Structure 1
Amino acid sequence: MQKRIEITQTSWNEEQLLLQADPVSFSLEEVAAGNRMLVDSDNLSFIYILETPSEFIYVSVKDTYWQDLKKALEEKKAIVLVVDKVALLLTNIEEELGYLIENIKDNANYGEEMEKRVNDIF
């Protein structure tokens, strides 16, 4: 089964958007930013990929938090994942999100609801 981290809330400090998740049952000791993203149209989520030496972990950012993502992109703020005591800069997220957003706009291949939400927010 694919390991997932679900974002449960966001917060801000002067330089960063913090994507916060509840503690997970697996180790994040060797986790690194994967520099790439996917789309989960069924759950209206953008998925940031984390890597360990042996597997991938998906960070799911549901549409509930897209307004904050948009603001972070517009204000050129860093986006950081926070899980328990681990904070990890999500590198390359700006470029990946920009690419996905442009690709989804007016593209029904991602599903009608996903396309609508992206158009409404971004």
Structure 2
Amino acid sequence: MNLHVNEIKLVDDQVHVFTAEEPLELTATGQMITDSDHFQFVYQLDDGARYQHLRFVEETWEMMSQYKDKDWYLYGTIELIRFAEEFELLLDNIKDNHNYGKAFTEKVEEVFAL
């Protein structure tokens, strides 16, 4: 299932992420991937049966860049463990790497000043 981020708030120096979908019982995996075809960063969550994809669309990237070193929480309660580390690893891998697609790579480099 895909969960689409529709709100990001800074609360007491923590980033709280909310989705368009109803909250679910989930466990953070500490893993992040990309969906370069749809210009999205995807944090993987586990519901006990399968992965759920927390999708950060291009419109959220500015806030991701601004708050990337903070602690991130889904619904303000589920800590997205290793978010900053995984995100930084992805950014490092995307820089100058057109395997993600030239348009995606160039947009990421622009938004995140790589």
TM-score (norm 2): 0.90
What 5-or-longer segments of structure 1 have no aligned partner? none
Distance in 1 between residues matched to 2:83 and 2:107, nearest whole Å: 19
Instruction: Quote the residue 2:33 is aligned against.
Output: 38
- Residue 92 of structure 1 and its aligned partner are, at CA, apart by 0.3
CA contact (8 A) 2:4 2:21 kept: no
Report the residue type matching 1:78 in the other structure: D
Equivalent pairs: percent with the same residue?
A: 25
Report the residue type matching 2:46 in the other structure: E
- Residue 112 of structure 1 and its aligned partner are, at CA, apart by 1.3
- Provide runs of 4+ in structure 1 moved above 4 Å: none
Does residue 94 (structure 1) correspond to residue 84 (structure 2)? The answer is yes
Number of aligned residues: 112
2:24 to 28, 44, 48: 28
- Residue 42 of structure 1 and its aligned partner are, at CA, apart by 1.0
> What's the CA shift string for 1:32-76, capped at 9, x where partnerless?
001101100011000000012211100000121111111112xx3
Distance in 2 between residues matched to 1:4 and 1:23, nearest whole Å: 9
For the aligned residue pairs, the C-alpha RMSD in angstroms reads 1.5
